[in-house]
Structure 1
Amino acid sequence: MTRPIIRFSAITPFFDWRWLDSPSRNRWGTRMPTVRDVTIRLLRELGITTIFGNPGSTELPLFRDFPDDFRYVLGLQESVVVGMADGYALATRNAAFVNLHSSAGTGHALGNIFTAYKNQAPLIITAGQQARSILPFEPFLHAERAIEFPQPFVKWTCEPARPQDVPLAIARAYYEAMTPPCGPAFVSVPVDDWDADCDWVSGREIATLNPGDPAAVTKLADSLQRAISPAFVLGAGVARDQAWEELIALAEQQKASVYVAPYTSRSVFPETHRLFRGFVPAFKEAMNTLLAEHDLVVAFGGPLNLYHAEGQGPDLPAGICCWTLGDNPRVLSWAPVGNGILGNCRAIAAALMVHTYPVERTAPPLRLQAPELDRAVLDDRLAMQIINEVLPANGVIVEEAPTSRGPMQEYLRLDRQDGFYTSASGGLGYAMPAAVGIALARSEERVIAVIGDGSAMYGIQSLFSAYQLNVPVTFVIINNGKYQALRKFGRIFGMQDVVGTDLSGLEFCALARGHGLPEGIRVNDAEGLTNALNRSFATSGPSLIEVLVSP
């Protein structure tokens, strides 16, 4: 099964009797549609009837006579708006439409625009601009050099030269966003453009599946067949390309060890599968130690050599043959070692199955089991184990708890396709709003947002959106009273004390009530957390659990 074609059909003009009183008519006597009319109809045809935004003065005309079949999702801060849209786009596999205010609002959103770029999330980001007639006078709340502001973290930017070009620009933004490597595109729209007359815009068809160069795939298949100890290192592109089943089949056929690439932001392989060996660290020396037993490493769907700090030694141990596969030419261009194939992970994995056959190899060793925990001490390891114990079959984990990432990888074994999301950028303030967007798209499932106390304060306004939308999200706040991840990282630089990391005094249950949630539950022991999770999972709307953990 190949990736779906982006398909658009032509739009047929229609007659609306409400237009007869309008002074602006075409040669047949019917009213010309406005830029707003054309844009709304184009979005409807593209399957986009949800708009994420925080309204400002220069955006209001877009919402005149807002259609009944559209939904407006309010975020109380623009970074929250983009985070919700990002999660929604990844969950629906279609571009999400975002409407921001001019410079100030776009500036608020830039952190999560950066994350959307790293997530390869398809977004159409529009931002208001002041009226064209007063732009020469630098009016209040105008956007100077609007198309440069969000660069370089958007694939394409435009402020149309004419009002009539706005729908065409939005159409191109959609095609740009949805063409691999997917990502955000940006259109700045002057406030008076929405009411201008405009011709209808017809859609087009674009086929986006790249199966990879056949000769290169055959060469990789030969290397795989000859390997003694092959390893697959899987990145988020495996999830974007829906290659889950193909990679399981290929790994089983080849008895390959399977690892998750550094800082992978999606679920890419069942973590209880006997071939799963663990997570590749983002540090050169540790990466080399982990992969030294292999003679072939194939990185599917993401960078292998993604480092968090400077290291010593080679990028891979001597004697290892390496291939990197994926849809992002930038990743292939800066990969420091090995060969690359630009293409769709699912298509390449399927082709490799055709060009290879099962070989007699010794199965790789099993992944070590995590140590037993003392259930009398609620730390983040035990919190992750308890979540694992009570996680419903339809549960989706969204995570932004940097201190607890290691314990999560040890004790929360995720086995579900599209069952995990986090930020690919390392920036904070993504996961809380993304959880709301994912829950909005997947309303029959339960989203569990596992958030650190420091991370939560970057997107706490998401609680209000969750309350307004009544989405099925359980926010689990891991509260250790500090920026613990930063304190740990400080030791790399020989720092025993790190200033500005004390977060004591935050009360997340009070914050939950203040944003409309009926209650927050604070727990400090294993039984309390188990009961609170089960209680939350039994409800249909959002809830918050604050987990006080021991260091």
Structure 2
Amino acid sequence: MQTTVRDSVLDLMRRFGMTSVFANPGSTELPLFRNFPSDFRYVLGLQEATVVGMADGYAQATRRASFVNLHSAAGVGNAMGNIFTAHKNQTPMVITAGQQARSILPFSPFLASNQAVELPKPYVKWSVEPARAEDVPPAIARAYYLAMLPPRGPVFVSIPVDDWDRPAEYVPARDVSTELRVQPDTLEKIAHALDASQRPALVVGGAVDRDGAWDDVIRLAELHNARVWAAPMSGRCSFPEDHRLFAGFLPAHRENIVALLSGHDVILAIGAPAFTYHVEGDGPHVPDGAALYQITDNPETAAWTPVGTSGVGSIRLSVRELATHRPTNAREAPGKRRAPQRAEPSTVMSVAYALQALGEVKRPDDIVVEEAPSARPVMQAYLPFTQSETFYTMDSGGLGYGMPAAVGVALGKPGRRVVCLMGDGSSLYSIQAIWSAKQLGLPITFVILNNRRYAALQDFAPVFGFAAGDAVQGTDLPDLDFCSLAIGMGCPARKVGAAADLHAAFEKALASNTTNLLELDVQ
């Protein structure tokens, strides 16, 4: 029997471990799924942004590339927000999309993508529509290797509908190393700088957790008694937030970063940009008298870093190498970060009280996927994360990631309890994920912080000249009933308005090990 494009691609997907297909079906994709293999799993999302968000969470949780199937131009267009987020998250992902039959493409047919290769750019590492049907399997193989090479990220392959049944050859198995090393002389320079430092600081970002360097960074920090800051807008927890050396979270504002890092003479950014800014700033990027060093897995990040010395390569291997250099310069441990004042119950509960209660109920190994931008500073004070791979959010700032990502993380970490912490506004971007979670029977508790507004925008408005009390158009969200929305998708839900009921509600929801939703009325 002759081998087809479909046979060859399915063989590749098995060898690459991409047997979970995250998708929303369309006509131009159907031939791939004819006689769908019993060892494959089709993960249905009810909208393409949800599909890509689920695949993102799954890839991050498994540290393997995920496989996505979208419907032609419209499906890719719907997914673009979360493709952008996958790009910023450096999530390995092979995105395929259907295309109309090659024979009618010259006639601009219905459902054709006229510029399929251009549509997902610039937020994929590579984009292609193979010139011939028999070129599809090698294109999928190349896409996979590119997705997995650092900096990891999504890639895109457009596949005409009539290609799947055309003859093709199997793609030979290959070994492709995906680990790069920082130049030894650069690591030596960083090691000497740390040794000579009187007051070093580490700034850690999401790549620490992505690359499995959690324990190595702890070892390096303890070796040098270095204070450790979380990088601005980091999408992962990369250092235990109850550790004696943890200093806190840097804001995405130049002058405030410089003020917080003042007094440090050596600053080493590990797996993070130096630095991510959200608003305009002036002045130096680091304090006077401080030298900046950086270890990153992203050459582009190293290229735009404004000052200092950058090394590009594996975070884990680099930090492990630095930790072999025993310091000769003994220094005292810095003071421990001050704990926040305990939040107390109130008539309408505060976000601080809600997150403090969640922190007291959840287990340290429970996973939180968060998309509540206005609550993030409060979360950083009242909901500490102390273990690797227990916190995920988006690096992009774009909404619509959190709910589907929680589904993907739960699929990628079977047996682990997942809390999806959402704002009321951000919940509505990909709320279809609740249905997917319920259909898959996943142990996810969706927690909606309902303050009836886009609080992040109202809080941010003064930066752009709004006076106190000025109306910010389009930011009020009255009359949303998230319990009804969840129940309509088959998901049990409960509304909690009284602080006295909160701990018991969290305990019951998390202990259920099923998909459920809690809507919290907060100030």
Asked if these proteins are the same fold (TM beyond 0.5), I'd say yes
Q: 1:85-124: per-residue Cα shift (whole Å, max 9, x none)?
A: 0000000010000000010110000000000000000000
Q: CA deviation at 1:280?
A: 0.7
1:189 maps to what in 2?
A: 159
- Alignment pair present for 1:474 and 2:445: yes
- Aligned mates of 1:344, 1:406 — CA distance in 2: 30
Q: 1:260-307: per-residue Cα shift (whole Å, max 9, x none)?
A: 000010110000000000001100111111001201100000102110
- Aligned mates of 2:440, 2:282 — CA distance in 1: 50
- Aligned mates of 1:292, 1:202 — CA distance in 2: 55
- Alignment pair present for 1:326 and 2:300: no
Q: Is the 8 A contact 2:94 2:155 kept in 1?
A: yes
1:440 maps to what in 2?
A: 411
Where structure 2 has 5 or more consecutive residues not aligned to the other structure, the ranges are none
Q: Is the 8 A contact 1:386 1:526 kept in 2?
A: no
Q: CA deviation at 1:526?
A: 2.3
- Aligned mates of 2:233, 2:274 — CA distance in 1: 10
2:493 maps to what in 1?
A: 520
The counterpart of 2:476, out of the listed 502, 523, 534, is 502
Q: Secondary structure at the match of 2:500?
A: helix
The counterpart of 2:230, out of the listed 253, 260, 263, is 260
1:28 maps to what in 2?
A: none
Q: CA deviation at 1:393?
A: 3.6
- Aligned mates of 2:403, 2:500 — CA distance in 1: 25
Q: Is the 8 A contact 2:443 2:515 kept in 1?
A: yes
The counterpart of 2:195, out of the listed 216, 222, 225, is 225
Q: Is the 8 A contact 1:32 1:199 kept in 2?
A: no
Q: 1:115-167: per-residue Cα shift (whole Å, max 9, x none)?
A: 00000000000000000000000000100110010000000011001111111
Q: CA deviation at 1:358?
A: 5.7
Q: Is the 8 A contact 2:364 2:385 kept in 1?
A: no
**Identity value in percent:** 50
Residue correspondence of structure 1 range 102-501 to structure 2 within 5 A: 102-357=72-327, 359-377=329-347, 378-495=349-466, 496-501=470-475
- Aligned mates of 1:535, 1:372 — CA distance in 2: 24
1:541 maps to what in 2?
A: 514
Q: Is the 8 A contact 1:35 1:198 kept in 2?
A: yes
Q: 1:424-447: per-residue Cα shift (whole Å, max 9, x none)?
A: 000000010000000011121100
- Aligned mates of 2:108, 2:501 — CA distance in 1: 57
- Aligned mates of 1:471, 1:520 — CA distance in 2: 15
- Aligned mates of 2:411, 2:218 — CA distance in 1: 29
Q: Is the 8 A contact 1:386 1:529 kept in 2?
A: yes
Q: CA deviation at 1:494?
A: 1.8
The counterpart of 1:70, out of the listed 40, 61, 64, is 40
Q: 1:203-225: per-residue Cα shift (whole Å, max 9, x none)?
A: 21111212210011011110100
- Aligned mates of 1:190, 1:82 — CA distance in 2: 21
- Aligned mates of 1:337, 1:261 — CA distance in 2: 17
Deviates more, 1:347-356 or 1:66-75: 347-356
Q: Is the 8 A contact 1:262 1:304 kept in 2?
A: no
Q: TM-score, normalised by structure 1?
A: 0.93
1:14 maps to what in 2?
A: none
- Aligned mates of 2:158, 2:350 — CA distance in 1: 47
Q: CA deviation at 1:244?
A: 0.4
Where structure 1 has 5 or more consecutive residues not aligned to the other structure, the ranges are 1-30
Number of residue equivalences = 519
Q: Secondary structure at the match of 1:409?
A: helix
Q: Is the 8 A contact 1:254 1:358 kept in 2?
A: no
Q: 1:157-204: per-residue Cα shift (whole Å, max 9, x none)?
A: 110011111111011100000000000000000000001111111121
Q: 1:54-99: per-residue Cα shift (whole Å, max 9, x none)?
A: 0001000000110001000000000000000000000001000000
- Aligned mates of 1:112, 1:413 — CA distance in 2: 27
Runs of 4+ in 1 over 2 A off after TM superposition: 355-359
